[in-house]
Amino acid sequence: MDLWIKVFEVIFPVILVVATGFIFGKITNVNLKPVNILLLYISTPCLIFTSLVEDKVKISEILDIVSIGTLIVLIGVPIVYGFLKILKKDSKVFLNTIIFPNTANLGLPIVLFAFGEVAFDYAILFTTIVFFLHCSIGIVFINGFKNVKEVFKIPLIYTVLLALLLNRYDIEVYKPINQSLELIGTTCIPLMMFSLGHKLSETRILNIKGDIIISSIRLIYGFLISIIICNLFNIDSLLIKVFIIQYSMPSAVFNFILADKYDMNPERVASIVFVSTVMSLFTIPFILYYLLL
């Protein structure tokens, strides 16, 4: 019973903030696009930069997160692609919704509340890897190779490279500057959750049966593939928990952004994001219970 109380204490703040964003979106006509741009170009890069330059994660751990995290995301792509063909689903519309989970808006706060600061630093790095792959391989999945160069327009890439270079050569960032960046980065987590709720408030469910099928694949696939891959490597148990909980998240909101940009049935993708997020409210507590045992 005590463990279920712990699970509730982890998940409740996240649900409450997301629900606040959802209600706000329903009762107002406020456009949160500038907030999302702030998250993408300023707040999230500051969070990642300050985490890396403060030497919280060892180089060996960074290498594990990069290599194993990339493997977790990409190893099952041929399987999912084949499965979608069997179901006669368009892979350009549905592949990304299964492969790329919401490691940021939901994954980061849940890791922080459940496992603490060290795990949160791991989660930030894994989220960066997922986002990088989403902006490169994910674009290839839906639009071919002609727009891969767009990944280099994302400041997160340069943020990580700069932070790693400063770490490599033991260059310290002037403390007041680092504190200012850290302060900006602290806005990232609540804004991500609020923004998720707001985006969901704008979404209509288009095909409830089909969306439940795709959402179920995303949630089951993410949980199983992360457990299988993690069991192949001798890595820290806390890092294993981060991989499992983050890759078990529902479909990422960024799937809708890409689908909208490249005109790949964005309304349907948004509907899947909504349904998988609602379904995850029931699956995440059980996964947390398993990981907290």
- 155 CB-side CA count, 13 A: 13
What average pLDDT does the segment 191-209 reach? 89
Residue recorded with tokens 């998720």: 196
Question: Is residue 153 predicted with pLDDT exceeding 80?
Answer: no
Residue 225 confidence (pLDDT):
97
Q: Do the Cβ atoms of 48 and 163 come closer than 8 Å?
A: yes
In whole angstroms, what is the distance from residue 217 CA to residue 99 CA? 10
Strand stretches in the chain, DSSP E: none
> Into which CATH architecture does domain 2-12+30-292 fall?
Up-down Bundle (1.20)
> pLDDT band for position 96 (50/70/90)?
very high
Q: Which residues face 101 on adjacent strands?
A: 251
Prediction pTM value = 0.90
Domain edges within the chain? 2-12+30-292
What average pLDDT does the segment 189-216 reach? 90
For residue 87 the two structure tokens come to 């179901």
Other beta carbons within 10 Å of 231: 9
Q: Which residues face 134 on adjacent strands?
A: none
> pLDDT band for position 1 (50/70/90)?
low
What average pLDDT does the segment 201-220 reach? 93
Other beta carbons within 10 Å of 163: 20
In whole angstroms, what is the distance from residue 88 CA to residue 27 CA? 39
* 224 vs 58, residue with greater confidence: 224
**What one-letter code names the amino acid at 88?**
K
- Highest mean pLDDT of the ranges 92-106, 128-142, 177-191, 259-273: 92-106
